[in-house]
Amino acid sequence: MEKRNIGKSGLSAPFLGLGTWAIGGGRWWGDNDDALSVKAIETAVEQGIVWIDTAPIYGLYHSEEVVGEALRHIDRDKVILSTKCGLEWRHESPVLHKVVDGVQTYRDLSAKSIIEDVEDSLRRLGTDHLDVLYTHWQTPDLSIFPLEETVEAMMKLKEQGKIRAIGASNTTADFIRGYCKYGQLDVIQEKYSLLTRRIEKQLLPTCKELGVSIQAYSPLEQGLLTGKVTMDTTYPEGSTRNTNPCFQPARRAQAIHLLDSWGDLCEKYHCTKAQLVIALTARMIPGLHVLCGARTPEQAIDNAGALHITLEGADAVQMKWDVDAIS
């Protein structure tokens, strides 16, 4: 199976990774069966989805705890494990983030906070190293948490063997340049789908210039690109889908029409619409890594089907034209 580099770290993985935000549960995702979540992670790895991504904020530590339990049953050397730092609720900081599951959270990218986050994550995950450590959200006012201090702390953790690659999530081109100026940046993690493509213009040129990889989250646009959403589908009050521009009537109609037009391709490649979308998304940007969530073994198996789709050149070109036409 083809592997893609993770920046200049020397690490590589197949393009499809497992996102574990939903596994953390909480108000956003509701209750989960943890035993089923563990089995989903094990199944994903068995199916070739070996990059597992988590974060302390997902379920307020619960996602990391579930991933840690799963890792007890998996060969650690087969897995690329990433988590994040910089969101705090153990203490206050000058930078408010938002309320998560009834708890006020803060952004803190000080060296002290980063080191504490890593030590706690290593304990919850039951491992002695992280393959990738992301800063979860950046702090625009660098007078509060200087970027040089943030990067220096991460470089020190790398020298100690506690992390193997440095990442930044929800970032900007200026921050990418700053990370590379003060140390190293291997990968960024950003929202990207066939309907949400801002990073192609805003971040991709800088990443290509500096050799930084990209990992996309929400490639199925909160389920809109699975083919299961109709114009009549509704969501509960408070759902973020109700405020997501892609779910508004005109944009939703475009997405549904796009997927319907690819019905013959699903038959040709013996795949679902979601699998076809994942496979195409992975081709939209050279070397792109893609994260998809799964809470059950069946979902993990379904996602993994995208790894086995090899789009013919002409089909890929036509599909990209179709996407461009509604962008």
Which residues does the annotation mark as catalytic?
Answer: 58
Dihedrals φ, ψ of 213, to 5°? -80, 165
How many CA atoms, within 13 angstroms, populate the side-chain half-sphere of residue 91?
11
Q: Would you say 149 and 110 are in contact if contact means Cβ atoms under 8 Å apart? A: yes
Spatial separation of the C-alpha atoms in residues 218 and 238, rounded to whole Å? 19
**Which residues neighbour 119 within 8 Å (Cβ) at sequence distance 6 or greater?**
none
**Which SS3 state, helix, strand or coil, does residue 239 take?**
coil
- Among 278, 263, 279, 275, which residue's Cα sits nearest to residue 312? 279
241 burial (CB, 10 Å; 0-12 / 13-18 / 19+) is middle
Spatial separation of the C-alpha atoms in residues 182 and 87, rounded to whole Å? 22
Element (H or E) spanning 244, and its range? none
